Chain A
Amino acid sequence: MPNEEKQTAAGDGLRVGVFICDCGLNIAGSVDTQAVTDYAATLPRVVCAVRNRYTCADPGQNEIKAAIREHNLNRVVVASCSPLMHEPTFRACIASEGLNPYLLEMANLREHCSWVHGGDKDGATAKAKDLVKSAAARAARLQAREETSMPVTQAALVVGGGVAGIQASLDLAGAGYQVYLVDKEPSIGGIMARLDKTFPTMDCAI
């Protein structure tokens, strides 16, 4: 089914682009990435499926950006490595094309698939297809999200006035911040104040 027709069939205006990374041979070595790309193109709402050599590198990111413009994508799936590694990279990438960064979904084809099923290309490819299918299904249900930011009160509370609390207070105050140092005892000093000399310098504790 041609891409445009498929979108019309879904009728919800969602246009998903899927980018499958070879990662050199890291993924392509044990996953048939072309088969996965062909499969991705058949998934609901997927209007473009592209195979990259390295999606995270500039040429790969440029392909995503170009496809967003060309196909008017509003959801992006990157099937490459762990999101713990490159989610921030691809969020920034789609944001540079004006998409909300939360409209990105990743499928972990490397750490969770190609690297751990090296001797089982069929099994790994089947799994990779599933992971892409799951990611595309989730991507279709992603919503734009706004990160809220709040001002930080320019003051610090230090609880405890032993040697650590004293040092923390002096550092913070020295840097120009207002510090409130709270100590339970009638005097600061903590355990340190009770010591005679301290090692390794053998000098006075107070």
Chain B
Amino acid sequence: MMDVGRHPRIELMAYSEVEGVGGYVGNFKVKVRKKARYVREEDCNSCAECAEVCPVVVPDEFQMGLSSRKAIYLPFPQAVPASYIIDMDACLGTNPIACGKCEEVCEKVCIDYDMKDEVVELDVGVIVVATGMDVYDPTELDEYCYTRYDNVVTSMEFERLICASGATEGHFVRPSDHEVPRRIAFIQCVGSRNNAGDKGNRYCSNICCMNTVKDTLLLRDHYPDCECTVFYMDIRAFGKGFEDLYMRSREEGVKYIRGLPGEIRQDAETKNLFLTAENTLTGEVVEREFDMVILSVGVIPRQDNPLIKKLLSLSTTADGFYMEAHPKLKPVDTPTRGVYICGCAESPKDVKDSVTQASAAVARAMTLLNAGEVTAEAITASIDAAFCTGCGLCAKVCPFNAIVVDKDRKTASVVSAMCMGCGNCGATCNQGAVTMGHFTDEQYYAQMDALLEENPENKIFTFACNWCSYAGADNAGVSRLQYPATPRLVRTMCSARVTEDFVLYAFMKGAPVVLVSGCHFADCHYIDANRQTVKRVYRLWDKLEKLSIRPERLQLEWISAAEGQKFARVMREVEEMRKQVTAAEIEHTRKAVAEEWEKKLAREAKRKKKAEADESRDEVQVS
């Protein structure tokens, strides 16, 4: 921490928040709000005289509320920056008549009641997100009575009770009578691994087992006559040196009972606690009395995650932690180029893993910084102003905020450096104004013409997204999984590139079945572009129904890059479906769609004429 404070190339902005992020990989513009501390950071030498005279006493959040602090305070003794700060919500006021005592005693004159928030703009090439975690609040678990019984505390509170610089200066006492407890129970998996999913989380919080093992050893070290009992589901001591530590704890006499207590009861007089649990290894029911119970609470995503998520166009898993670009091959990259994740922001992890991952994220970031320049595959979108009406639909669906709409001039334009080329805008624009570089409409129609020219009735026309379904088909190949030779695949960068017209065109060309395939929701390489795929397919199903075409002839499947088996299975299933489609049905479809297509062409011709007319009028005005 100190190293950060004194490093000449690190500008530390504590008590600050990222408010806006613009730009793109290599060239981000970041707005940071430096909140007013009301104490000049650079002048304060943390002499503490201000806090001594401050009359306001409030719970100290750093000590988990187990002790108090003043309204002007140093967050904790080793704080970096080592500067006091005024908690303006608690301070009696800036009016010297009300108080103003701290200002009077501050010899360095670094207290400034009129300090204002300051917004600074930074130019950076890369961003490392290390926003960390929050701790699970066990209040909702009625059975553990965390808020009702004084002597039930969380593992975070335990840290502040046993720490030498903690609320009790390292004297481990129980809250009800400030006596040193002799019989201490730990309950594991509080808020974690709850498969019912009603309270807490389903996932394993990773660190709590070893944290408890550590806590028992600390207790045995400080108070050799104390009895520790751990109620657990499984002890997950998987890391380097973890099993040794766990064994040491058992050798020290810590009792491990496999089974979680159903409830905690309290003796109203002694405030002692009774735990009943079934030891699932022996089948016996254990009832024990304890002086104190520690809830080994889990890790949850930062509650302000959604804000950073939106600012940086990140995705989160169902658990709420940030999602990596690829779970195995790009574990610290994010879907947004130039943004990397590490630490508990990505998933619950211990100190060693956080440090390891931070260095990995930096290595990835430095490959970009060190290269000095960044190139993008030339597959970006462009917008033809002559056709664009400035409706903004494209900007709405762009997962990367890469489209800027000029409302006054009624046009939109693409910031190429931010565009990843998914094609979602191209499929959304109903004015035909968007051209996807290297994946144009014209190219797709040419492919459809080629593939469906002869014997279309024998073919399953398939759109497959580059990252998942196309790669899933590759996976089926590499695994030599056999399926019928009827599918004809066309590659799109994202399933969201598939326009409604593409599908209709394939049907008009005689395709018996059309399959649209893409990444599973959480896997979409363009954040959530494939949500638009779903919307389009739903609209198409409605449209097909209206045209008396069986909607099931359009299939939608999510197939990941690892799901070769699924790809082959889907192909076999769709082949069965294809066999059911009669020649008469295909003929009817051709005609029905062709009629619709005529109308569409007429609309387009009209639009083109209008665009040309507008253009020539503009020219006349210019001349």
Q: Which positions in A face B, CB cutoff 8 Å?
A: 82-85, 102, 108, 110-113, 115-120, 123-124, 126-127, 130-131, 133-134, 136-138, 140-143, 145-173, 175-202, 205-206
B18 at the interface (CB under 8 A from A): yes
A39 to B25, CA, bound (A): 45
Q: Which of B64, B239, B358, B376 has the most CB of A within 10 A?
A: B358
Assuming the contacts A83-B491, A148-B376, asked whether A172 and B210 have C-beta atoms less than 8 A apart, the reply is: no
**Once the chains bind, are B485 and A126 in contact (CB under 8 Å)?**
yes
Q: Which residues of A contact B488 (CB under 8 A)?
A: 127, 130-131, 134
Q: What residue of chain A has the Cβ atom nearest to residue B122's Cβ?
A: A180
**Once the chains bind, are A186 and B79 in contact (CB under 8 Å)?**
yes
Instruction: Please give the distance in Å from A148's CB to the nearest CB on chain B.
Output: 6
**Once the chains bind, are B480 and A116 in contact (CB under 8 Å)?**
yes
A-B contact pairs, 20 of them (CB 8 A): A82-B470, A85-B474, A111-B474, A115-B480, A130-B451, A133-B453, A151-B27, A152-B374, A165-B130, A168-B358, A170-B4, A172-B362, A173-B9, A179-B7, A180-B124, A183-B16, A188-B4, A195-B163, A196-B164, A198-B214
A133 to B490, CA, bound (A): 12
Q: Which residues of B contact A149 (CB under 8 A)?
A: 373-375
B327 at the interface (CB under 8 A from A): no
Q: Which residues of B contact A123 (CB under 8 A)?
A: 484-486
Assuming the contacts A137-B449, A146-B378, asked whether A84 and B210 have C-beta atoms less than 8 A apart, the reply is: no
Instruction: Please give the distance in Å from A158's CB to the nearest CB on chain B.
Output: 5
B354 at the interface (CB under 8 A from A): yes
B240-248, B495-503, B523-531, B602-610: which one contacts chain A?
B240-248
**Once the chains bind, are A102 and B438 in contact (CB under 8 Å)?**
yes
Q: Which of B351-391 contact A (CB under 8 A)?
A: 351, 354-355, 357-359, 361-362, 365-366, 368-369, 371-379
B141-149, B223-231, B342-350, B404-412: which one contacts chain A?
B342-350
Q: How large is the interface on B (under 10, 10 to 19, 20 to 34, 35 or more residues)?
A: 35 or more
Q: Which residues of B contact A168 (CB under 8 A)?
A: 128, 130, 342, 358-359, 361-362
Q: Which of A167, A176, A193 has the most CB of B within 10 A?
A: A167
Q: Which residues of B contact A172 (CB under 8 A)?
A: 128, 362, 365-366
**Once the chains bind, are A137 and B357 in contact (CB under 8 Å)?**
no
**Once the chains bind, are A171 and B359 in contact (CB under 8 Å)?**
yes
**Once the chains bind, are B4 and A169 in contact (CB under 8 Å)?**
yes
At the interface, is chain A mostly helix, strand, loop or mixed? mixed
Q: Which residues of B contact A131 (CB under 8 A)?
A: 488
| The one of B351, B376, B449 that contacts A147, using a Cβ cutoff of 8 Å | B376
B97-105, B263-271, B440-448, B590-598: which one contacts chain A?
B440-448
Q: Which residues of B contact A171 (CB under 8 A)?
A: 358-359, 362
A138 to B447, CA, bound (A): 6
Q: What residue of chain B has the Cβ atom nearest to residue A115's Cβ?
A: B477
Q: Which positions in B face A, CB cutoff 8 Å?
A: 1, 3-4, 7, 9-18, 25-28, 30, 32, 37, 62, 64, 75-76, 78-81, 83, 85, 122-133, 135, 156, 159-160, 162-164, 166, 210-211, 213-214, 217-218, 239-242, 244-245, 304, 308, 342-345, 350-351, 354-355, 357-359, 361-362, 365-366, 368-369, 371-379, 416-417, 437-438, 440, 442-443, 446-447, 449-451, 453, 459, 466, 470-471, 473-474, 476-478, 480-486, 488-491, 568
Supplied contacts A117-B485, A175-B362, 12 more A-B pairs, CB within 8 Å: A110-B477, A111-B478, A147-B376, A152-B25, A161-B14, A164-B357, A165-B132, A166-B1, A168-B128, A170-B7, A184-B17, A205-B351
| The one of A127, A143, A146, A194 that contacts B62, using a Cβ cutoff of 8 Å | A194
**Once the chains bind, are A180 and B451 in contact (CB under 8 Å)?**
no
Q: Which residues of A contact B83 (CB under 8 A)?
A: 186
**Once the chains bind, are A137 and B344 in contact (CB under 8 Å)?**
no
A139 to B208, CA, bound (A): 57
Assuming the contacts A191-B133, A192-B351, asked whether A164 and B124 have C-beta atoms less than 8 A apart, the reply is: no
